[in-house]
Structure 1
Amino acid sequence: MSSTDGGTTTPAPAPSNWNLPNALTTLRILSVPFYGWALLVDGGDSVTWRTVAWGIFVLAMVTDKIDGDIARKRNLITNFGKIADPIADKAITGMAFVGLAIIMDTWWMWTITIVVLVREWAVTLLRLSVLKSVVIAAAEIGKWKTMAQALALGFLTLPLLEVDGWLDVPGEITYVAALVLLGIAFVLTLVSGYQFFRDVWKQRHTIRSKAVPADAG
């Protein structure tokens, strides 16, 4: 809100970094090592700790949605939040990819993990550094990528192949479905990454071409 006094406009003060959305974001970052530890207890064979890891992951994904909604609704968007929020997201998903790659120990899972992490952190670092003057709106395919990625990692965090009895068959079916979601997420990651870097190149090229006549004059 802004107020006027004698025809002058006073800008609203910037929101404090000490707010609920930033607190939730910080908790997500702090939860990453606990999630990784719980996921890898006994080499990933502990049903109990894999379930705990799943709970931490789900809470992280839910609070990610909640803190963003609160920040926008209450106008609590801060510079800290702009930096910490994407770092929190990439940290928890990155830990999930690495942890699951360690557990599965297959060439294809390590390949997916490396490619996804390089893409995710490259995009994040670009957004936080050189792209301050270039606005790249989040593409719809990126939102689908995030959803597929979260579902795949969430399901794979569960001890789907470690359970016995009546949960054995449902666990195997869910595991296969999770791998399908992981494949979809991987493809969407590549496509959205290509679109992002393409749009960055186009916008920076446009900015430079507009600046040339001004400099020349």
Structure 2
Amino acid sequence: MNTMDENTMDKQSSPKSSLFDGWNAPPNLVTYSRIVLVVFFLTLDILAGAWGENNLTMRWVAAVLFIIAASTDKIDGWMARKYNQVTEMGKLMDPIADKLLTCGAMIVCSAFGELGWWVTILFLIREIGITVMRFFVMERPGGKVIAAAWPGKLKTVFQCVGLSMLLLPFWSLGNGQATPFWMTAYYFLTYAIIYVALVLCLYSGAVYLYNTFVAPKRK
């Protein structure tokens, strides 16, 4: 048996990497806990009502939970890279956790009239489309989970910052008086950040499509 035959047998006998390999790695456990936080956040946000008018305290708590859940995104990624625990499950679940958090928040905000439905719908089309594409790529021979690229990561940062600002009920600090200038500027900046996130959302979606279907054919 020559060397080529031995190498061929080694490749055939070596087990194929599974999506569930390393599912219980510490970075993945952080991701799972973030998904649990999403459930608590959405529950409190809905019960608090539009702009927190039903229960202002509940709205503050919901906003803080959103910020905590969004911040832990960097923790699991940092842990995975530092301790060499990057897994296919992590690359799949991390962006899904982000989408559950941000898209869930946007749907509730739109239902309460705090954010235009057209913004949320465009985000949903992109996010659902990219998620379906990830599963499609995984099912192909030799397919692997597509990791988030920098435009998508930047989109997530702007989206989380904008939604955090929108969720924090700073309107309550006006004490029922005429809207102060700082509050007008605050919400103008809030929506501007969300719109920047929308532009990055659409751009990063186009980058994913190009890297998946166009770039491989050019090689």
TM-score with structure 2 setting the length: 0.76
1:68 equivalent among 67, 73, 77: 77
Distance in structure 2 (CA, Å) of the matches to 1:121 and 1:200: 16
User: Which residue does the alignment assign to 2:64?
Assistant: 55
Letter in 2 for 1:34: F
Specify whether residues 172 and 57 from structure 1 end up closer, same or farther in structure 2 by C-alpha distance, changes over 3 A only.
Answer: same
1:77 equivalent to 2:89? Answer no
| SS of residue in 2 equivalent to 1:129 | helix
Q: Given that residues 160 and 175 in structure 1 are in contact (C-alpha distance below 8 angstroms), is that contact kept between their aligned partners in structure 2?
A: no
| SS of residue in 2 equivalent to 1:52 | helix
Alignment of 1:32-47 (within 5 A): 32-44=38-50, 45=53, 46-47=55-56
| SS of residue in 1 equivalent to 2:49 | helix
Distance in structure 1 (CA, Å) of the matches to 2:92 and 2:145: 15
Provide, for residues 154-199 of structure 1, a one-character-per-residue CA deviation record: whole Å limited to 9, x for no partner.
1111113343339963443322210111111112212222232233
Q: Number of residue pairs matched? A: 194
Aligned-pair Cα RMSD in Å:
2.9
Letter in 1 for 2:76: D
| SS of residue in 2 equivalent to 1:133 | coil
TM-score with structure 1 setting the length: 0.77
Q: Given that residues 88 and 144 in structure 2 are in contact (C-alpha distance below 8 angstroms), is that contact kept between their aligned partners in structure 1?
A: no
Letter in 2 for 1:153: L
Distance in structure 1 (CA, Å) of the matches to 2:145 and 2:25: 26
Distance in structure 2 (CA, Å) of the matches to 1:18 and 1:137: 19
Letter in 1 for 2:42: G
1:87 equivalent among 75, 85, 96: 96
